[in-house]
């Protein structure tokens, strides 16, 4: 049921990715990773990070780096990355533009399903003032066998929330996340309003995209009415 064509099925659950969807954090993450790898004489660009690592868990990112460059990473690499990133978050993290007013008006059940580690997503939601908004309805790749692009995390989130997959709507910014939502049999919208995607060409033409949270209520209405989204 992913994609644009609809049958008028009213969503029973909104599943939000965190980084790049709720938090405008992907540029910060990329900058910290690029700087840390640069100290190891490994050169990556923002485009490299966006194209190869966006939406993936850190263990997967570390494996991809080792495979690509044939270079072992220091034992404390992940811990140092997370520490430096959370330091940046403390002063620079912001919600994606227009998110908070949209969430205040949202009446449908909602949860978060993210590739981030539990400590990182907890800190992110705390800094954004969203800790109480989602409460215990936060799920991470550490709770399933396979992270995105496998459907496991989204299926787990829907099960925990008591909603059938075809009644769930996924909001994602990354290709692995979009693939995971579609593989789970869920509707998917591609959010492109984060700083890391703004002004870039759209991705999969089969997946409806938007870049402004002010548009989201109308998108929900269109889905409920079975409209074909573009």
Contacts of 64 (CB under 8 A, 6+ apart): 52, 53, 56
d(CA 77, CA 5): 44
φ and ψ at 92, to 5 degrees?
Answer: -120, -15
Set out the domains of the chain in order of their start, with CATH numbers.
Answer: 13-24+93-224 (3.40.50.1000), 26-92 (1.10.150.240)
d(CA 190, CA 175): 9
pTM for this model (two decimals): 0.86
SS3 (DSSP) at 111: strand
Q: Map tokens 């990329």 to a residue.
A: 30
Q: Per residue of the chain (230 residues), what is the pLDDT tens digit?
A: 344 434 456 789 999 999 999 999 999 999 999 999 999 999 998 888 888 888 788 888 888 898 888 888 899 998 999 899 999 999 999 999 999 999 999 999 999 999 998 999 999 999 999 999 999 999 999 999 999 999 999 999 999 999 999 999 999 999 999 999 999 999 999 999 998 887 777 666 789 999 999 999 999 999 888 765 65
């Amino acid at each position: 049921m992913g994609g644009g064509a609809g049958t008028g099925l009213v969503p029973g659950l909104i599943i939000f990715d965190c980084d790049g969807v709720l938090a405008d954090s992907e540029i910060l993450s990329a900058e910290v990773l690029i700087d840390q790898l640069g100290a190891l004489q490994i050169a990556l660009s923002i485009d490299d990070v966006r194209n190869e690592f966006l939406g993936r868990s850190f263990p997967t990112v570390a494996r991809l780096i080792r495979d690509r460059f044939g270079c072992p990473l220091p034992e404390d690499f992940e811990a140092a990355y997370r520490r430096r990133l959370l330091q940046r978050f403390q002063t620079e993290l912001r919600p994606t533009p227009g998110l908070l007013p949209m969430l205040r008006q949202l009446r449908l059940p909602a949860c978060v399903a993210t590739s981030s580690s539990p400590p990182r997503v907890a800190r992110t939601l705390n800094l954004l003032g969203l800790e109480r908004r989602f409460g215990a309805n936060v799920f991470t790749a550490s709770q399933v066998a396979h992270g995105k692009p496998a459907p496991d995390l989204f299926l787990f989130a829907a099960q925990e929330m008591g909603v059938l997959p075809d009644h769930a709507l996924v909001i994602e910014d990354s290709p692995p996340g979009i693939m995971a939502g579609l593989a789970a049999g869920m509707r998917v919208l591609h959010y492109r309003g984060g700083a890391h995607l703004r002004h870039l060409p759209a991705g999969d033409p089969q997946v409806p995209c938007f870049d402004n949270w002010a548009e989201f209520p109308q998108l929900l209405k269109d889905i409920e009415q079975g409209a074909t989204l573009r």
